[in-house]
Structure formats: structure tokens, C-alpha cells
Amino acid sequence: MLSHCKAVVSTQSTGSSASINDSDLVVIGSGPGGYVAAIKAAQMGLKTVCVEKNPTFGGTCLNVGCIPSKALLNNSHYYHVAKHEFASRGIKADNVEVDLPAMMKAKDTSVSALTGGIAGLFKKNGITSVHGHGTIVTPNQVIVKNADGGRTTITTKNILIATGSEVTPFPGIEVDEETIVSSTGALSLKSIPKTLTLIGAGVIGVELGSVWQRLGTKVTAVEFLGNIGGAGIDLEIAKNLQRSLQKQGIKFKLNTKVISAEKTPEGIKVVAENAKGKQEQITSDVLLVCVGRRPYTSSLGLENIGVKMDGKGKIPVNERFQTNIKNIYAIGDVIDGPMLAHKAEDEGVICVEGMLGGVPHINYECVPAVVYTHPE
């Protein structure tokens, strides 16, 4: 018989220990895949616990990814239209200016509303949430350690790994999130840079490059591939998108690799080399390193219990999202396929239904993908 529990939010003081026993499912990670799976499991009668290492729910997508980037893309587009298109449309709007702190506050308000909404949904559906870093110590036990030294031991019948992904570092370039930034830092710059260099012109690069270009920054993107938009994009679409973004003011250097980057009194100096071996220097106020993301699987204790991984840190699963240990499941960015929030959400629902005897089915040929530039 499936068990039920009332909503509990675990709070741990320094050095304290707690335990949660006889759970049906522990979900590690509260991003789009994790929180959707946890809610589905609770609605289907499973005693569910969700572990989240960050202070707020929602993972990368809601906190430092999809949601804040779309807020800035939307509001920067409004500014661009008001600044550059209103007059031609017969609308007078003198002295249009950017109030960057207010724009950032609007972004943060959107993020807070959505992450707080997940907390409300957890409470409504009777999900126990535990904040801290979760480690799988046996196929039926997870230990969570929080920042204050508190420790919660959870015993469970099933474990679902939904820990998402993290920024892929660029060898030899140290990110400080101030002048050399990842996508996280690029969403929270304190001022509008005069110049910005992108390492990578994939989806993240062209979206965040568009934000700052609209706000007045001169943007140069250095891309190793021969097209923008990342690997796998339709090349005709990529070519037309590149033309459009170039007209807007973004410069692209394709088939070009970055050799080095260093801080100088003049700014961040990047040395790049094209396919013919010719090198050039690009100096800018800010450098955005956006060369992709990698699965977040390295510190979960998977190697200690024998969960198999491929050479890229991803976890192989079967059609029911089971790993080689049958009561441990994985979804989202940690398994094969595109790293997209809506893919993870569907996998979360289907995975939970499969745990309870449903027949899982997902058509990976029908997963939509969007680049939120203008045009999209």
C-alpha cells in the first residue's frame, strides 16, 4: 500500500541531525524535471521527498536560466523598439533611457514569484522538501548535508536523479562573474558594458548577446563552428538568423577558436585564431564564456553505489528511465538528449507513471526547440 505524508519543510540548525523514514520516492533536484516529477508522484499517492541544494526551488531554469534570460530578452526588446522604432511608427517618446537596476529588479521579481510558486505547490501536494546537498549512500538511502553542517538521512524505496546540468568551464579561463562571466553572471551585470565578447555563439550566446546589444553594448561572438545556434541547428535557419543579428549589430567570427584570455588594464584581452591560422586580439569590457553545459553528476555518490555513467558524465537509462540499479531513475540533463526544460518535465511525469506500472512512451523526434532572439 502506498503511504502518504503531510507537507514538511526540513529546517536544520548547525550540527543537527534528522531522519525521514519509509519514503516511496526521493527526488534529487527541484528543476523543471525534478519538481514536476515530485508533484506527479505525490498526486499519485507516493510519499515523496524532494532534495534541493540551493535556497530556492526551480533549478537553473527558473533561477539563472530560462526565466531570467527571457525576462531580460523581453524587456530589452521593449527598450529597443521604443528607442529605435517608435518614431518611424508615428510615436513620439523622447529621452528613452535604460534603468538597469529597475530592469534587473523586474527580472528578479519574476524569478521570485515562480520559485515561490513551486514551494506553494510542494506544500499543497504534501511533498517533504529538504535543502542541502544530497548524496546517495545506498540504493535506498540519501544523506543530505546543508550549509550549516546539518544532516538529514532519508530512507526510500526509489530514488530519482534530476540534478540537471552546470556551466561547462573553458580550460585556462577563470570565471569571476564580474568581468569574465558565465551565463549566470551575464544575467546580473551591474552596468551596461561598452563592449562584450562571447566565446560561443550557440543558443545561450546569441540570446544573451542580443540582450546586451539592444541595451547599447557592442557585441562580438567568437564561434568554433561554422554556424551560429549550436550543433544540430538547421543550417539554413542558422544562416538567416546570423544575417538578421548582424543587421542588429552583433559581429560574428566563425570557424575561430579562442587561444587565451587575460585581464589587462584596457579590459579582457582574447586571442583568437581562425581556420587559416591567423590570430587576432579582441579586447572588451566583459567576456562571456558560453561554450555549453555538462551533466551535474560528479558529486552525487553514484560511483560508490555502482550507477553506470558514460564518458561524458551522463547516466544511461532504459525506456523506463531506470539506471542499471533498477530502483534508481534519472531524467533531464543528466541523461541523453537535448538539455531542455520541457523535455525534462515530460520525462519526469512519464518516469513516475512508469514506476506505478504505466507504459512509458516519449517521442524524441517531436521535442521543440526555440532560440529566443528577434526573430525567434
pLDDT at 3 over 80: no
**pLDDT, tens digit (0-9, with 9 covering 90-100), for 34-63:** 999 999 999 999 999 999 999 999 999 999
C-beta separation of 169 from 293 below 8 A: no
The fraction of the chain above a pLDDT of 70, given in percent, is 96
C-beta separation of 243 from 193 below 8 A: no
pLDDT at 200 over 80: yes
pLDDT at 15: 66
Instruction: Give the Cα separation of 172 and 290 in Å (integer).
Output: 14
pLDDT at 220: 98
Greatest alpha-carbon pair distance for the chain in Å reads 69
pLDDT at 272: 98
E strand or H helix at 186, and its extent? helix 183-186
Q: Which residues contact 241 (CB under 8 A, 6 or more apart)?
A: 206, 228, 229, 371, 373, 375
Total residues belonging to the chain:
376
Mind giving me the DSSP string for 85-120?
TTGGGT---TT----HHHHHHHHHHHHHHHHHHHHH
Q: Which residues contact 68 (CB under 8 A, 6 or more apart)?
A: 107, 108, 110, 111, 187
Q: What are phi and psi of 39, to 5 degrees?
A: -65, -45
pLDDT at 2 over 80: no
Q: What are phi and psi of 136, to 5 degrees?
A: -85, 115
Instruction: Give the Cα separation of 200 and 186 in Å (integer).
Output: 14
**pLDDT, tens digit (0-9, with 9 covering 90-100), for 314-360:** 999 999 999 999 999 999 999 999 999 999 999 999 999 999 999 99
Q: What are phi and psi of 99, to 5 degrees?
A: -105, 90
pLDDT at 16: 84
pLDDT at 213 over 80: yes
pLDDT at 7: 41
Q: Which residues contact 349 (CB under 8 A, 6 or more apart)?
A: 36, 37, 40
pLDDT at 217 over 90: yes
Rg (CA), the chain: 23
Instruction: Give the Cα separation of 290 and 360 in Å (integer).
Output: 34
